[in-house]
Structure 1
Amino acid sequence: MSVDAWLIFTVILGFWMAWNIGANDVANSMGTAVGAKAITPKQAAVIAGVMNFTGAYFFGKSVTETIRKGILNVGMIHDPWIIVYGSLAALLAASIWLIFATYNGLPVSTTHSIIGGVVGYGLVYAGASIVDWGKLGQVVLSWILSPILGAIVAYFVFKAVKKSILARSDPLRSARHWAPFWIGLAFVVIGTMFYIKVLHGSNLLTGVILYGVPTGVVIFALSYVIIRLHFRPNDPYIGVESIFRKVQVITSAYVALAHGSNDVANAVGPIAAAYAVITMGMSGMKVPVPRWVLVLGGLGIALGIFMYGYKVMETVGKRITELTNTRGFSIDFSAATVILVASWLGMPISTTHTVVGAVIGVGLARGVKAINKDIVRDIVISWFITVPVAAVISAVIFKFLVLVG
């Protein structure tokens, strides 16, 4: 194949990967809102599409890592075309696995899919010595940590919301006192996450002081005034749920923004890496991501959401456990908190696994019978086979590309 043909193939493949990210990972941001009937699937697709594109284009990481997460020892790769073939093999393998998972409504990690693809071509090219098994061990650890932490935090958050509001003799009166507190606290986390995850800041204390607390205080004051002056529903429980319904739309939209700014790298990183190596050789291993590549990734994610996102949304929002707006709020709040703290501590964590774990935790707060154990089993199995399946597919594709290249 000519250089131009490889470039065109790379761009098409990267766009397809972005499409798959949108189709599968959208459940992280919108599944709970749809399941709790805060918004319709079509509204979720529009909101998530716009917010993901905005996050990808305006806040997408400016530098791409050729070897995702440092899984491979780059020093052992001397032929720049190995990077091209490997990046394409990893993209194609991850895309094939993601389309299969999405078709079956299984929320899986796109990051883990790409890592599996990278490991697969690395093993074929240079054997086990090229793989950083310590890094890969952290990925495996995230399979365990993410859902457990998400479930534990969500369990206690929903229990606290229930005790402070829903279980009181006058839930609406309690909501007027406690809802602004919970909403404000959620936006302290969201404001801080904006600094850490979207603006890519590194100092947690700076994020809390400059972004988290001011945002939380403003939202607390606004929600306190609005709920006190303009909220007079007839049914107290419906009234409480409607308060959190509006908040849940905002929290879900934020998660979509953060998702676009971070996970777009799963699609555009390999595109930019292959593009740079094709045009500049090994000197292009770390390069600024061109804006057109971020646009490509953002558009691909948005289209994936619009065209196929409903499959995984239904699983996360409806098939694991029954959701209400207070439960959905507890899930969003808990997942955001776990992801923020994990990012600060440098712990390996998966957004997908954390959100699903939080959904399970809220379900467990109502008893084991509230959980659909069959779908949880299928999801967990899909998590554990993601890396090895992607690795095998990538290895086969890599060998083929080397032969035809």
Structure 2
Amino acid sequence: MTSTLILAIIVVLLGLAFNFSNGFNDSANIIAIPVGTRAVSPIKALILAGIFEFIGTYFFGQAVAKTIGRGIVEPSIFVGNKYAVIILFATLLTSTLWNVICTILGMPISASHALIGGLIGSAIAIAGIEVVKWNNVLKIFLTLLLAPVLGLVFAYILTKIVYFIARSAPRKINKLFKTLEVLASCFYAISHGSNDGQKAIGIITFSLIVLGLYSPTQDSFAPKWVIIACAICITLGIMFGGWAVIKTIGMNIYKIKHVNGFIAQLSASLVIYFASSIGLPLSTTHVITTSVMGTGAAERIKCVRWSVGRNVLFTWLLTIPTTALVAFFVYRLIFFILKILVW
């Protein structure tokens, strides 16, 4: 077995581990709301989330994977550079570790922020600041900022409309939305897979291009086996759950009713799916969080626990610079060790 193939296997395993941790943290948000409102049991919610997450990751395009794989840093410029593979180690180690730590702490962080920050930091470490496609990074950053705001606004407006229409029979309407809420959670799982499920696909494909093992075709940016493997791993992450994060989203921000759960998930799904269709990665966690806050604020603003939102915002703002800095030094450390021991 050649050294290139060994490196490829290691990077692929790290990428799949990242997708598993992504599922463990981010995708738990899919079941938080329907479970929190008792619209469906945790086991049924996990099964539904797993099925529809796989569908979203596998069948709903590769636009986000392409953005991650070559929209931030062009992988072809590193082909033949024996140090370039360290970029992937540093990126995936940093982002996976950040995901796991924040999950343990019960903070719904963004896997997108962690992955993008890690990729930027490690790429700068090997080739300098000019290697990063800053125009694309700016578009992504603006999307990361704007998407949660849109989720909040859409949920707020939609809640006001629904409550105005159903003002004469609010309890009957809430019962009606119990079924719709479960359907909305399935739609959210699909939209989540179309965005978050694509990120590891992009980074693994990036590594295969750098190692000279794969060239994208007109029909597909990523190899089919990578798409399937990533879809399976994020689904397994969901099945193992992320109960601390589930509690944060489902209950700590706002005690949700069925109608609010439906509106929050529908609003978040629309924002996420639109971003996925144009290849923009975003924080699905933060979109669903602000959507929950938006529907809660529309009903009664004092019911929303804004302190939880502030904690989420703090982690949100901290993730990209922290992971970029850590990945920069992780790259330097791995480079230093390998230069002494191997190269």
Identity across the alignment (%): 31
| Alignment partner of 1:45 is 2:13 | no
Residue 299 in 1 paired to residue 232 in 2?
Answer: yes
Match of 1:310 among 232, 243, 247: 243
Which residue number in structure 2 is paired with residue 267 of structure 1?
Answer: 200
Q: Give the superposition deviation at 1:137.
A: 2.7
What's the counterpart of residue 127 of structure 1? 128
CA contact (8 A) 2:69 2:205 kept: no
- Tell me the residue number matched to 1:401: 334
Deviations 1:20-47 (A, max 9, x none): 1111221443322222221222222211
- SS at structure 2 position matched to 1:284: coil
Alignment size in residue pairs = 335
TM value normalised by structure 2: 0.87
Aligned partner of 1:242 among 148, 172, 175: 175
8 A contact 2:75–2:209 mirrored in 1:
no
Match in the other structure for 1:377:
310
Contact 2:23 2:236 in 1 (8 A): yes
CA gap of 1:379–1:70, structure 2 versus 1, over 3 A, is same
Change (3 A) 1:338 1:261: closer
Q: 1:350 to 1:2 in 2, by over 3 A?
A: same
Q: What is the deviation of 1:158?
A: 0.7
Per the alignment, do residues 42 and 91 of structure 1 end up closer, same or farther by CA in structure 2, a change over 3 Å counting? Answer: same
Describe the shift of the 1:148–1:69 C-alpha distance in structure 2 as closer, same or farther (beyond 3 A): farther
Alignment of 1:310-329 (within 5 A): 310-329=243-262
Q: Give the AA of the match of 2:44.
A: Q
In the TM superposition, what whole-angstrom CA distance separates every residue of 1:240-294 from its partner, at most 9, and x where no partner exists? 32211111111211221232233222112222332343353xx737774333222
| 1:257–1:144 distance in 2 versus 1, CA, 3 Å | closer
- 1:58-207 superposed matches below 5 A: 58-59=59-60, 61=62, 65=66, 68=69, 70-72=71-73, 77=78, 79-165=80-166, 167-168=167-168, 170-171=169-170
Give the counterpart of 1:284 among 212, 215, 218.
215
What's the C-alpha RMSD, in Å, of the aligned pairs?
2.8
8 Å Cα contact 2:49-2:189 kept in structure 1: yes
Q: Which amino acid aligns with 1:395?
A: F
Unaligned runs of 5+ in 2: none
Provide the C-alpha distance between the structure 1 equivalents of 2:8 and 2:266, rounded to a whole number of angstroms. 42
Q: Distance in 1 between matches of 2:16 and 2:276?
A: 28
Q: Is the 8 A contact 1:26 1:313 kept in 2?
A: no
> Which whole-Å CA distance do the structure 2 matches of 1:355 and 1:62 have between them?
21
Q: Return the offset for 1:361.
A: 0.8
Once the two structures are TM-superposed, the CA of residue 63 in structure 1 deviates from its matched residue by 9.7
CA distance in 2, matches of 1:66, 1:146: 17
For 1:290 and 1:315, the matched residues in 2 are separated by 36
Once residues 114 and 23 of structure 2 are traced to their aligned partners in structure 1, the CA distance between those partners, rounded to angstroms, is: 14
Residue of structure 1 equivalent to 2:27 = 26
Asked whether the 8 Å contact 1:146–1:357 carries over to 2, the reply is: no
Tell me if structure 1 keeps the 8 A contact 2:195–2:272: no
- Asked if 1:368 corresponds to 2:301, the answer is yes
Determine the C-alpha separation between the residues in 2 that align with 1:108 and 1:79.
35
Distance 1:343 1:290 in 2: 19
Letter in 2 for 1:399: R
| CA–CA separation in structure 2 for the residues paired with 1:9 and 1:348 | 25
Distance verdict in 2 for CA 1:322–1:263, change over 3 Å: same
Unaligned runs of 5+ in 1: 172-236
Q: Higher mean Cα deviation, 48-57 or 119-128? A: 48-57
Measured in 1, the distance between the counterparts of 2:229 and 2:243 equals 22
Out of 186, 191, 198, the position equivalent to 1:253 is 186
Q: Does structure 1 retain, via aligned residues, the 8 Å contact 2:196–2:281? A: no
Q: CA deviation at 1:312?
A: 1.7
Check 1:150–1:56 CA distance in 2 against 1; reply closer, same or farther (3 A cut).
Answer: closer
Please state if 1:330 is matched with 2:241: no
Separation of aligned partners in 1, 2:122 and 2:63: 26
Mean Cα displacement is larger for which, 26-35 or 59-68? 59-68
